[in-house]
Amino acid sequence: MRVDLNGLKGSIVALVTPMDGPTSPYTAIDEDAIKGLIDFHVENQTKAIVVVGTTGESATLTSEEHCNMISKVVVEVDGRIPVIAGTGSNSTHEALFLTKEAKSRGADAALIVTPYYNKPTQKGLFEHHKIIANEVNLPQILYNVPSRTACDMEVKTVVELSKLDNIVGVKEASGQLNRVKAIRDNCKKNFLIFSGEDSNAKDFILQGGDGVISVTANVAPIKMSKMCEAALEKDSELATQLNNELMLLHENLFVEANPIPVKWAVEQIGLIKKGIRLPLTELSSDNQNHVKIAMDRASLANQ
């Protein structure tokens, strides 16, 4: 039975994909680590899980691996919190396939990134998402991240897409906080609005957002959850205090391309083994020190 996304708020983890072995094109997915990762998040107040998104190395996985990860996470979560599957592609055909697979494998929703590299027009973006929404009866969250895709979904396009029944929210990672109010004021009631950037999540929520799809939550789930809850309750003082403790972590988890730093950090807290797939590489020794300092600053041992 699927979990209802209605009212979903707070800290949602963009889950790493555990791997084991030397860095190569064939680094193996560590299926044995998935249960421990899921239990860690359920027990530490993460409100939902995004599987095989950017942080989950979706761009390096085969279609079979991608779909199998969705299945495995759905099984391990066992209905305790929502599972949102990354199903975006720069090919509408492939995005349709992955979204259909996500539905068949039990995901509660799909997170669909704007088509990267192609640089579609706003009309192209609308048509891309419209056909997926019309053909796959599964809740869908738009994902706008211009820094990675070279394509910016404008507010007017989000508003038009929000009128479609199966499009229920947006992950907005343009960094433009003024979009929160514009989306909230013009989209349908209960349309979900999530930040895609940990560094602005506190202000994003205080300005009317529902939460964050978070990289930081991989290593600091309770603190991220409490920060989001404070912001949702408009307790700006507490939210700022908690966010200040996390800010260096927000920043240093991006000293190299995501998910390189966060996979190293999750390894350090003992949840996964060393493993990442080319063209990504292991975190450099200099930057390991930067991430370690940020983890210490966040007092993760006392979260």
Q: Which are the catalytic amino acids?
A: 143, 171
Contact 74/97 with Cβ under 8 angstroms? no
Contact 85/110 with Cβ under 8 angstroms? yes
What's the CA gap between 185 and 162, in Å, rounded? 12
Provide the pairing of β-strand 28-29 with 19-20.
antiparallel
Grouping H, G, I as helix, E, B as strand and the rest as coil, residue 240 is helix
Contacts with 190 (C-beta within 8 Å, 6 or more apart), sequence order: 6, 7, 168
Backbone angles phi, psi at 83, to 5 degrees: -115, 120
The CA distances from residue 91 to 9, 64, 166, 168, in Å, are 30, 17, 20, 22
Alpha helices per DSSP H over 78-200:
92-104, 122-135, 146-149, 155-161, 178-186
Tokens matching residue 254: 């991006």
Contact 193/12 with Cβ under 8 angstroms? no
Q: Considering only CA atoms, give the Rg of the chain.
A: 18
What's the CA gap between 199 and 216, in Å, rounded? 9
What's the CA gap between 168 and 161, in Å, rounded? 9
